[in-house]
Chain A
Amino acid sequence: MGEGLGYLFQAVLSFLTLSALFNIAWATLLGIVVGMLPGLTATLGVALLTTLTFTMPSGDAILVLICMYVGAIYGGSRSAILLNIPGTPANAATALDGNPLARQGRAGKAMGIATAGSFLGSMIGMVLLASIAPGLAEAALRFQSYEFFWLAIFGIVIAGRLTALDDPLKGWIAGFLGLLVAMVGSEGIYSYARFSYGNTDFSGGLGLLPVLVGMFGFTEILFVMFQPAASAVSGALDSVIPKVREVLKYWQTIIRSGVIGTLMGLIPGVGEDMGAWVSYAAARGSSKEKHLFGKGSVEGLIAAETGNNAAVPGALIPVLTLAVPGSAPAAVLLAALFIHGIRPGPLIMIESPSFVYEVTAMVFMATLAMGFFGILLTKPLLTVLRIPPTRLMPIIMVLCTVGSFAIASRMFDVWVMLAFGIIGFVLRRAGFPLAPLILGVVLGPILDSNLRRGLLLSDGSITPFIMRPISAALWIAILITVLLGIPAVQQALGRLFKRRNAISSSSSDA
């Protein structure tokens, strides 16, 4: 623990140089702007910035990307509050109470509360990142091929379930489609080309970043062009500096939302949106002011914003310790780590023990910058919301094209981006969530190589896949998740609980 604090302190000190502070400032500010603009998500922001940071030293590049990530998740609250359109999917819950507050003439207060919530959420997540990640990395050292195979399936099943609560089937189909997409190209054991049909571009596989840029860039552009635009709530702005007493009044909600957000971030592929929604639901469930939720509740707003920003460091925990992303932006960050020669995974605490704390310090610095700019530049930043989407979207399209091309300097990646943009649009229109698909693309190689390696090691026996303790825990969790997603099982459980409640209430009456 003491050693960890030492690393953390050293890392924070190393960011107090002029160049690091400059990088933190511009990347966080750019992240806030990206988050504010409907149609630009944190995932796209991190993906496009990844191409710009190719030539940077690895430490600077990761710092810039984390600042973009933290800034974008926070920035989305501005458009959620003022436009009633979440800037990123993570801010959807923010709109429920943030926009009513703005309509009541308290837009400044809503933005101040959102800033405080995001700041505290990031800080709670950061503390949990520093405390959970080393232990999880140590536990993950016991993982073998069997466990990694189940972990990949678990990620798909849980992400499919939680990102499509009203129809998990669509979430699972999206996830397995993502795994299938990852099968294109040379496989990991013999470098045998699959689904290439003699084409050298296909033999190289479909890159994660072009697929991501297509699904979170081109798809978003098509959606923005489809939907009607909205203008900001206008009028004079009240004070944006939150009152400490008003924030601390909800200290229990803040801590609960911070922990929930971090845990949601930790679950593979689930990410910030669920961090916000589950925190919001928990806050509503335990609130004394339930009637205010959805009508401008400060507690609801603070829960949503604490939850989504706490999920950012939460999503970095599996990235660092298991090389499995906790969210879509974290998937890009994982790809960026590999590009810059950093190998996250169970060995991280052995090979480079200071790295986890360096990332924690990066989150800390990004959070400070986010709070600083969030309060200081509130009014100037609002001009961003006045940019008509019709003028912005063509520029975004150019950036998506350049971003896809720049990764490997091949036109094939631009075509992949276009194809997946169209596929993403069709899937989203049909109600399929895209996050499990992206997670599938990341987890595909892990699933493939570990299943085949595991089968070879066990000489074709599936016993180790079933009987090893961690494997057993994972497949049982998968089974429970799948069963709970079946409507007939849900109804049967509902009837069972109702009957039990009726029996217990009648026995207490007696």
Chain B
Amino acid sequence: MLQSGEWAYTEKLKEHFMAPKNILQGDSTDDFDGVGMEGNLQCGDQMLVAIKVDKEKEVITDCKWKTYGCASAIASTSILSEMVKGMTLDRAFNVSPKDVAKELGGLPDHKIHCSVLGDKALRAAINNFFVRNGREDRVRKEQAKIVCQCMNVSDHDIEEAVIEGARTYYELQERTKIGTVCGQCREETEVLLEKFKHIHFGA
């Protein structure tokens, strides 16, 4: 008989959950150069990222955060804050949920969605830094492309549905109602489905 069960998470994740690093203390972000927040409480996840930036080199010198969420959400933000210190803004902007999950030694499939907010909040913080410094031209918006015109479903919606567990076209339809009217977008949808499955789950 086994004496104990494994955690659902990796040791690395457990480590960051038990002793999260770089938590923003107090309620003020006044000392920071850029602040971003993503997610909402109703969905059970919300993350705030605050960065200090070396304006000459455009390098992140400090990164603090707050997270409302489960163990993987907490650990994801903690490890993200470690990863991006010393990174240029350009590189930090391209950190993906997959990078975060990899750094944590992997996440259970149903927990991937918990780690996607950290990098989004980070990008929001970087954009916020540009806005504050009068560099609106550097702000990069993540634009969604509508794939299904009938039901108004975007590529972001598809990505989200895949992250939340949709693996087949039909599961995707169940979640998003995509292609349930005219059905013309099916081919494009299936290409995107495979792409996001590959990006997030290597499948």
* Same assembly: no
Please report A residues at the B interface, Cβ cutoff 8 Å.
none
Please report B residues at the A interface, Cβ cutoff 8 Å.
none
